[in-house]
Structures are given as structure tokens and as C-alpha cells.
Amino acid sequence: MTLCDLTKGGNQVTTNHESHIRTPGIRASEIRTSGQGPTQQKPLDSEISITVRDYSFFYGAQQALFNVNLEMPEKQVTAIIGPSGCGKSTLIRNINRMNDLIDLTRHSGDILVKGQSIYDDELEVTEIRKRIGMVFQKSNPFPKSIYENVVYSLRVSGQNNKDFLDGVVESSLKAAALWDEVKDRLHKSALELSGGQMQRLCIARAIANRPEILLMDEPCSALDPLATAKIEELIFKLKKQYTIVIVTHNMQQAARVSDYTAYFYLGSLVEFGATKTIFTNPSKKETEDYITGRFG
């Protein structure tokens, strides 16, 4: 596969690249200790939504992220790519502090959202998770009705006004491109939906809180090509309102849907820049080797 191959094909949906060939000579220590450090292209003409600053993260004694510095622009799609185990999911799960739920984890450095640290003592974790929605790899609707899935977090926070909730359900399902498919069965079980519909329901549930940011951890990996295409089309629409960070193993998908791309290897940021540049003229050889399938 060539760099050119990855940028052709328009909306064609392809399966994840599954090569496990390693490139000789690339060591994590070389990336971490290189005098040049990661290559980063500053986002242009956009406010910065998420700033990751000198950030390292540990699961017990095991270090998963190494001194990451990254700025993700507002109302743009940033794709995070890299081999399995390179820290992609760890990073985005820290952006809304999901990893706080895991014992013996710790971090150094900081993550800021619109200039405010997510670790600010005055900021409640529940407030962070309202501002930063999360969509997981496997759709996880609650065993409740479609309606109750969308309003679940609002009910938990004490909102029970029917007119208000009805409006949120309609607007959220419309934003997730699901309203027309389910408007006549809102009170039927969400578990009766197809896989793609379930994932769009989870997106609707995430945006019901009116977040600023949507984190998506491989949202299409369990979906068929048609359902994947619908999610990708939805991402294009959602970025008009939300900053989106998507983790994906699918290089073609990253090239199609994202404005910026960050390549990680063994917990270190190797290169970050405009997606077109990363996929056609990367600065680092290890980036080119990964996106062209020479290793990964």
C-alpha cells in the first residue's frame, strides 16, 4: 500500500489493516529520547480545545504514556492512530478522566480543556464528563427504551420535565441521524436496534448533555461497511458543533474523516499535523512505515 492509496477512494469503506510486520530498528527509546522529539504541526486558524501538556500516565508500575504534548483544535476532527497497545485509548480515556476508575493509576503533567485543567480541584468529575462525551468501541445501550437511553444522564441529574426531555430526545436523535428510523418506537427496547443504530443511539446519548467534546474510541470497528459509512457521514455533520477525537486502526477512515492526525508508538507521540500532510508527506519515516502498512 502506498501513501497515495490511502488518500484515494472518496467514501469507499475498507476493513482495518491487520499487518503485524515490525520495522527493524525502531525502538520506543529512540522516539522518546530523540533530540528532535515528535514532529508537530501547529493547528492553523482555530481555537485550541484540548491541550495535553508533558503528560505521562501509569497503570501501577507500567508506564503507558510518555511525556505527551499535543494541541487539538476546536470543532475539528483529530484522529489518533498507531499500533495496538500504543496508548491511544489510554489518552482519550484520560481526557474525561475515565481512567480514574482504575485502581493504582497515576499521572504527571496536565490536560486542559479550553485552558482549564481537568484536574482542577474546583472542577467536579461529573461536570467534566458532561462537557466531554464518550462513545466506546462496542455499542453499550442500557436495557431500557430508546427514549430512556437518551435521557438517562439527565434523569440522574434530577431533570424530569417531560416537555424538556421530549425536546432533548428529538434533537439528540436528529443530531445522531437516528430520529427518522426510531421516532415511532421510542418506548421500545434499545436492544432491538441494529448494531449501527445502537452506536448512533450511544452518540445521541452522549450529546444529550450538550458536551463541548466527543471522544470516540474505534466507534466503527464492530460495524459493517454500510453502518460505518453512516457513522462517518455523521462525524462530518457533528464537527460543526463539537470537537471530535477519534481513535481508529483504519487508516483509510482516518484519512477520510479527520482534519488532524496524531501518530503514537509505544506510548509516545511520534508525529502530529494536518491529516493531508500526515498521509501524503509525513516528516517521520516511522509514520510513513505505519500508515503504508510496513509495520503495525
Q: What is the per-residue pLDDT across 115-136, written as a single tens digit (0 to 9) for each?
A: 999 999 999 998 999 999 999 9
pLDDT confidence band for 36 (50 / 70 / 90): low
Whole-prediction pTM value? 0.84
CA-nearest of 251, 246, 249, 248 to 279 is 251
How confident is the model at residue 24, as a pLDDT?
32
Q: How far is C-alpha 7 from the geometric centre of its chain's CA atoms?
A: 21
Under CATH, which number does the domain 48-291 receive? Answer: 3.40.50.300
Q: What is the per-residue pLDDT across 135-186, written as a single tens digit (0 to 9) for each?
A: 998 888 999 999 999 999 999 889 999 999 999 999 999 999 999 999 999 9
DSSP structure string for 44-91: -SS-EEEEEEEEEEEETTEEEEEEEEEEEETTSEEEEE-STTSSHHHH
Q: How far is C-alpha 219 from the geometric centre of its chain's CA atoms?
A: 8
* pLDDT at residue 112 greater than cutoff 80: yes
* pLDDT at residue 50 greater than cutoff 90: yes
Amino acid (one-letter) located at 147 = Y
Q: What is the mean pLDDT of the chain?
A: 87
